[in-house]
A and B are shown apart, each in its own frame.
Chain A
Amino acid sequence: MSDDLTTRLTKVFQDVFDDPELQIRRDMTAADVEGWDSLKHLRVVLSIEREFKIRLPSTKVTGLKNVGDMIDLIRSYLPK
């Protein structure tokens, strides 16, 4: 997973968690990242919206299991 979307999403995570070393994986969950609480989750979502210039409906962002789900969700909202 080293496509453009993943690269941009990695940068979002690095910004939000202030960790330039942070790498993401599809199976990564909130438990794997220090400080990923519900507010940080929202910060991730809002930063994704800013980075990708999309709006993610609240119905879709509350049930995400892991980063893989997040990637699929973003992809489904990107212009084809």
Chain B
Amino acid sequence: MLLNPLTLHLPKTRLEAARLYKELEDSKVLAGGTFLLNSMKLLKTKGTKTARNVLSLAKVEDLKGVTFQGDTLTIKAMTRINDLLASPLPDGHLKILHTVCKNISTNPIRNMATVGGNLTCRYTWTEMGAVMIALDAKMHFLGPDGKEDIIAPEDFFKNAARSEKLFTHVTIKTQGVARTAYRRVKKTVHVDIPLLAICVKTEIKDKKWYNTRIGINNGSAFAQRDPVLEEFLNKSSSSPDLGKEALNHLTNTIYDTRSSDYKQHMFRVSLKSAIEEISQKGTL
């Protein structure tokens, strides 16, 4: 057997799942399984104990799907990465989500892995955190009493991606003139987990940047914003040199300054090109 003995729980409703999430001891939530089952198998090979209870969300239909109503995009937690990739998105900056999905791992993984799993699995290198921060998304959590908490992703990750309640969906408001750029660098050619992921979102009027949000995933810590860079860009205008100048205005601790020269270089190259991409569009 690849896995230690476990009890599988298969709730059918969100509330039932939220109650079990609160009640079950020694438990893990199973979304797509690409992180959880792999790590449980690995721990078993090392002789380590694994969770006795597994709370599967596979049969909770109300946790699946992507909808767009009014000015709000809703992505439910159990939406598979390839299902989000196949979902029509409103014109504008939210289309960056398709780029993000397209660059996650391999095809069978994208068929299995979920948006919720990517956000809440507590692996520091997953992609969606930085993107949701940049897009100013809101994460929704459901308690056993049916009450909902709404939390900004940067606050969720500041709390080391821990929650007392069940993550159910994410909402993102459209912003008509916003622009985005995304960069993801693989750890190695053969290991398709990200070394880093960067998402930049801004609004531009008369070449001037405002409401800029920078989501950074350095792989070592949970995704976070770069306030120094955001402040600099919010005082800047699109220009050919903006990407280069921006590199002098970073919150250096975020960029994992103790890491290898290669990673530092890739951070600078990726940030510069993402800002240049937006800046060039912003001068049109």
A, B: real partners: no
B: which residues have CB within 8 A of A? none
